[in-house]
Chains A and B, each alone.
Chain A
Amino acid sequence: MTVSAPEHMPVYDSAASRWKALEELEQAIKYRTLIVQLVRRDILSRYKRSVLGVAWTMLSPLGMMLILTIVFSQLFRGVPAYPVYVLSGLIAWAFFAQTTTIAMNQLVWGGALLSRIYIPRTSFSLSSIGTGLVNITLSLIPLFAIMLITGRPLRPSALFLPIAILLLALFSLGVGLLLSTMAVYFPDVSEMYQIVLVAWMYLTPIIYPPEIIPEAYRSILLNLNPMYYLVELIRKPLYEGVLPTTEQVAVGVAIALLASVGGWLVFSNKSDDFAYRV
C-alpha cells in the first residue's frame, strides 16, 4: 500500500529512515515563528513586572563591571582602560553562561510541553540563543558608552563584531545542546554545571590579563580553552581596536563549527527518547 498525499499536505512517517539531524533542522526552520515567539516570551515575561524593564539587561553587566573595576583596577594597573577590558570580556562570558544554562533548564523543567504536543526538540536551545543575542546587543550600548568615556573610541575593526558574536553563538548552541542531552538523563548536571561555569570563568582571562598566568601553564591553559579564543575575537576589535589575526579567526570558526555540528548531531539522535523521560 503506497501512501500518496496531495501537495502541501505534510506526511509524518515515524519509520522514515532519514538523518535525524537533518529532519530536526528542517523542522526548526518550519517552526521559525515559534523560536521568535519563545524569544519574545522570554524577554517580555522577564521584565514585565519590573519598573526599569529591559534597562536591566544593560545595567547588570555595568554594575558587575563597576564592582570589578573598584576591586581590581589597582591590582591590574598595567591594563589600560580596565573598565573596557573587563566589560568586553564580561558580556561575552555572560552570553555563553546564560544561553547554555537556560537551554538546559528549559528542556528539563519546561519539557512538559515536549511530552504533550510536537515541537522541534531544539526549539528551546535555539530560542535561548535568540534571547542571548538580543541581550548582548543591548549590553553593547553601555560598553560603547564606557569606551567613549575612557577615551577608547570605536574603530572600524568593530565591524568584525557580528562575526565574532555569531561564532560565540554557534559554540554556545553546541554546548547548550550537549548539556541539555546530558541533563535529561542526569538532572544533577544542571547543578554541577554552575560550579563548572565558575571555575571555567576564573580560568579564562575575563577579569585579568592573560599575562598574569605563570608562563609555565599559560599556553596550555589558554590553548585548551575554547572560550579564550571566542572572548578574544570579541575583545580584540573593541578593546584593542584591531582585527583578530587570520589564525585566530580560523581557530574560532573551527571551534564554533565543531561544537554546533557535534551538539546538534548528539542531541537530535537522542531526542526521540526525551518525551519518554522528561
Chain B
Amino acid sequence: MTSLTVSEDHIATDLRSDPVIRIEDVSVRYRVPQERIGTFKEYVIRRLKGQIRHHEFWALQGINLEVHRGEVFGIIGRNGAGKSTLLKVVSRVLRPTEGRVVVKGQVAPLLELGAGFHPELTGRENVFLNGALLGHTQAEIEERLDRIIEFADIGDFIISPLRTYSTGMMLRLGFAVATAWEPDLLVLDEVMAVGDEAFQQKCNGRIESFRSTGATVLLVSHNADQVRSMCQRVAWIDAGTIRALGSAEEVVRLYQDGQESDGWGKA
C-alpha cells in the first residue's frame, strides 16, 4: 500500500486487524465488442472469419485496500475513474476478473434507492418488494414495517400507488427501507442531496447512529468537501488504480491539486 499516514487513534486496536472489507489485487476488465454483434448469423460469420475483436477496458487494475470496522472510508475520483465499479465489486454485483474480495457482514447498498420500486404497487407493497430485494424475509419486513413507514413520513400516501409519489417521497421511502436494518456495512454513492433539509438531517442522523454502533461506512463521491467532512481515511482512484491513500485531509488536498494541474478545476 502507498502512503498511510492517517491518525488511527479512533480505531480500536483489536479491530484494526480485522478488516470488514478486504480487496486483494482486484482487477475488473470489461470487454466491449468494437461493433455490437446482435445476431447469430453475424456472430457465426464473424467467428469463422476471425473478426470478433474486443476492445478491452480495465476499469480497475490491481486494487489493494482494507477497510476496518467502524471506519468512514471515502473513495474519491473523477467520473469514469472506477469508483462505481469498485462499489459494485464490494456489493457483490460484479465478480472481479482477477483478485479477491472478502466482505464480512450485512451490506446495505444505498446505491440505487428504490431501484426495484414498481409504479403500480402501493407504497406498502413496495416496502415488501424492496425489503425482499435487499434479502430480508417476510417476517423481518413485517417486524420493521411500522418503523419504515414512520421514518419515511409520507402520511396516507403509503396506501397509494407509487406513480402518484413525488421524487422526494420515493427517495424517502427507499432510504427508510434500506436503513431499517442495522447493517454492518453501509455503502453510499454520491450521498443523497435529496429531500428537504429536515429529511437530510434525519438521514445523516441515522447514518451517524449506525456508525456509533460499529457499522462501517463506505462513501463514494466526487465532492471533495463532503468527503473531507465525513471521512477518516480516503482513497483516490484514478484511471482504475489507487493514486493516493491516507487521511482525508491529505488525500483530498492531493486530489484537488491534481485536478487543478490536470486542468479539471475543483470538483
User: Do A and B make up one complex?
Assistant: yes
Measuring CB to CB, which residues of chain A are less than 8 angstroms from any residue of chain B? 1, 3-5, 9-15, 30-34, 36-38, 40-41, 44-45, 48-49, 112-119, 186-189, 192, 272, 275-276
B102 touches A13 (CB 8 A): yes
Q: How many inter-chain contacts with C-beta < 8 Å in the A-B complex?
A: 119
- Are the C-beta atoms of B133 and A14 separated by less than 8 Å? no
Given the interface pairs A116-B112, A276-B30, the reply to whether A45 lies near B118 with Cβ below 8 Å is yes
Give the distance in Å from the alpha carbon of A14 to the alpha carbon of B115 in the complex.
Answer: 24
Complex contact B100–A30 (CB within 8 A): no
Contacts known (A32-B137, A117-B91, A118-B93); A12 close to B102, Cβ less than 8 A = yes
Can you list 10 A-B contacts (CB < 8 A)?
A: A3-B104, A13-B100, A15-B101, A40-B128, A49-B120, A117-B109, A118-B93, A118-B109, A188-B40, A275-B88
What separation, in Å, do the CA atoms of A275 and B30 have in the docked complex? 10
Q: Which 9 interchain pairs have the tightest Cβ spacing?
A: A34-B132, A118-B92, A15-B100, A37-B132, A14-B101, A33-B132, A272-B95, A45-B120, A12-B103
CB of B181 to closest CB in A, whole Å: 13
Residues of A within 8 A of B30 (CB): 276
The answer on a CB contact under 8 Å between B132 and A36 is yes
Q: Which residue of B lies closest to A49 (CB)?
A: B120
Q: Say yes or no: is B136 at the interface (Cβ < 8 Å to chain A).
A: yes
Residues of B within 8 A of A (CB): 18, 22, 30-31, 38-40, 43, 88-89, 91-96, 99-107, 109, 111-112, 115-116, 118, 120-121, 125, 128-129, 131-138, 141, 161, 184
Q: Residue on B with the closest CB to A110?
A: B116
Contacts of A117 in B (CB 8 A): 91, 93, 109, 111-112, 115-116, 133-134
Return the chain A residue nearest B135 by Cβ: A31
Known A44-B125, A113-B116, A276-B31; 18 more pairs at CB < 8 Å = A3-B104, A9-B105, A11-B103, A12-B92, A14-B95, A15-B99, A15-B100, A36-B132, A37-B128, A37-B129, A38-B129, A44-B121, A45-B121, A112-B115, A114-B93, A117-B91, A118-B92, A118-B109
**Nearest Cβ in chain A — how far from B187, in angstroms?**
10
- Expressed in whole angstroms, the Cα–Cα distance for A4 and B14 within the complex equals 13
CA distance A45 to B115 in the complex (A): 17
The residues of A that contact B18 with a CB separation of less than 8 Å are 4
CA distance A116 to B107 in the complex (A): 14
Q: In the complex, what residues of A have CB within 8 A of residue B118's CB?
A: 41, 45
Q: Is the CB of A12 within 8 A of B101?
A: yes
The minimal Cβ–Cβ distance linking B101 to chain A, given in whole angstroms, is 4
Q: Write the chain A residue with the least CB distance to B89.
A: A14
What distance in Å separates the Cβ of B161 from its nearest Cβ neighbour in chain A? 8
* B40 pairs with A186, CB closer than 8 A: yes
Indicate which residue in B22, B95, B120, B161 contacts A3 across the interface (CB closer than 8 Å).
Answer: B22
